Amino acid sequence: MHGSGFIKVFLIISAISLLFDWYVFAGLKTLTANWASLLWRNIVLWGYLLTSVGVTALLLIGFGAFSTASGMRPFHEWILSLFLTFFVTKLVFIIVLFLGDIGRFFVGLFNLASAKGSVSPFPARRKFISQVAVLVAAVPFTSFFYAMFKGKYDYKLHRTTLYFDDLPDAFDGFTITQLSDIHSGSFDNTEAMQKGIDLAKAQKSDLFVFTGDLVNNSATEIEPYIDRFGAIKAPYGQFSILGNHDYGDYIQWNSAQEKAANLNKLKQHHKALGYRLLLDENVTIEKDGHKISLIGIQNWGRGFAQVGDLNKALQGVPTDAFKILLSHDPTHWEEQVRYNPTNIHLTLSGHTHGAQFGIEIPGFKWSPVKYKYVDWAGLANEKNRYLYVNRGFGFLAFSGRLGIWPEITVIELRKKA
């Protein structure tokens, strides 16, 4: 079965892309106009056009065969990623070319007003502008290809130390490794992905947590990787929760029973991984006679499935306990956690992926996802109630990462002196 609305969107975008091709082709004609070799001129012009139109056609063919019964596969993600690469590259080229054409337009108006142009008052497009457009457009083109071939497996370790007045003494220096958003259905290079697992294992943290989205849609997606992710162990255990993708809400099932069976299978896979799946419940972590409470909630997100029940998850937790909450979507912290009468010291989330695209340099952080999520990567604090948003281990839809790299998080808990 085909998603007709989904296909209509791609038809519109494809039509825009073809209009872009016409404008870029005109710019390339200017660039190659005085080349001595007609052969090379034709190779550049028609090579570009055939490649760009071919990518658009591939998008339409690939998503024309898209099935809502299985969702996006690596094949679809690669087609979409190639299309986006060409689309953004063309857009940048056009912006530069258009700025030059605006200049030509105003020069032409000036010539008309001053009666300087008897034949054609509007000057021809300058080759220099086309050269600048090519150079500027090469930046997104090469960057996107890096994102697809290298960036999505360029794992980064983020270490954060948090200080608390009421941390039990035995947990001073206690470390937690967090992974989130594995999205195992998207992997296309197992050995490259293994580097991320090895980095997580190398931290030798006291506790390991996974904060949701083990798969894209189907429980079967994690099966080839159970032994690999199951090798991540911690002395005080491995714990996990569900994310919005884990419920199978984004593909079509033959029946409600089939969908429920998929979720049950996924829960069994958590067990096979060695993860204790927390479903609106809590466990006590004990060290040297001191205790902290680890709380896990099912997915609750603004604009997404709101399955989790925080009150249920908190049942039996002492009021004065030191509390760590696993909650997939950071909007849950914004809506229900940070002002909750029960003081939850630290919430660990994921979900946003940091849009898999952005800029992070010392003192500056930006991603388009910031226009949807207030807290989208890293640490947030509201009166010593902390939220940490993991940037995600995997990737989805766009088969790449640029600027916002895949993350392994290590949180160290310290007692304030």
pLDDT tens per residue, range 171-191: 999 999 999 999 999 999 999
Does 295 share its domain with 391?
yes
Residue where a domain terminates, one of 123, 149, 175: 149
Cα gap 237→205, rounded to integer Å: 10
Cα gap 305→299, rounded to integer Å: 6
Does 29 share its domain with 164?
no
Structural domains counted in the chain = 2
Does 12 share its domain with 144?
yes
Does 235 share its domain with 133?
no
Q: What is the pLDDT of residues 237-282, one digit of tens each?
A: 999 999 999 999 999 999 999 999 999 999 999 999 999 999 999 9
Does 224 share its domain with 373?
yes
Phi–psi pair at 20, nearest 5 degrees: -60, -40
Does 239 share its domain with 201?
yes
Residue where a domain terminates, one of 129, 149, 169: 149
Q: Are 406 and 152 in contact (CB under 8 A)?
A: yes
pTM: 0.91
Q: In whole angstroms, how far apart are CA 365 and each of 56, 378, 403, 415?
A: 33, 10, 10, 29
* DSSP symbol at 402: B
- Per-residue burial over 38-59, b if 16 or more Cβ lie within 10 Å, else e, is eeebeeeeeebeeebeebbeeb
Q: Residue 50, by phi and psi: left (phi above 0), alpha (psi -120 to 50) or beta? A: alpha
- Report the percentage of the chain scoring pLDDT > 90: 81
Spatial CA neighbour of 178 closest among 324, 312, 323 = 324
Q: What is the pLDDT of residues 319-368, one digit of tens each?
A: 999 999 999 999 999 999 998 888 999 999 999 999 999 999 998 999 99
Domain of residue 234, residue span: 155-415
Q: Are 356 and 81 in contact (CB under 8 A)?
A: no
Q: How many CA atoms lie within 13 A of 292 on its CB side?
A: 25
Cα gap 113→107, rounded to integer Å: 10
Does 140 share its domain with 265?
no
Cα gap 200→394, rounded to integer Å: 14
Is residue 117's pLDDT more than 60?
no
Residue where a domain terminates, one of 149, 182, 200: 149
The predicted structure's pLDDT at residue 2? 42
The predicted structure's pLDDT at residue 101? 82
Is residue 1's pLDDT more than 60?
no
Does 287 share its domain with 391?
yes
Cα gap 296→193, rounded to integer Å: 26
CATH of the domain at 189: 3.60.21.10
Cα gap 180→196, rounded to integer Å: 12
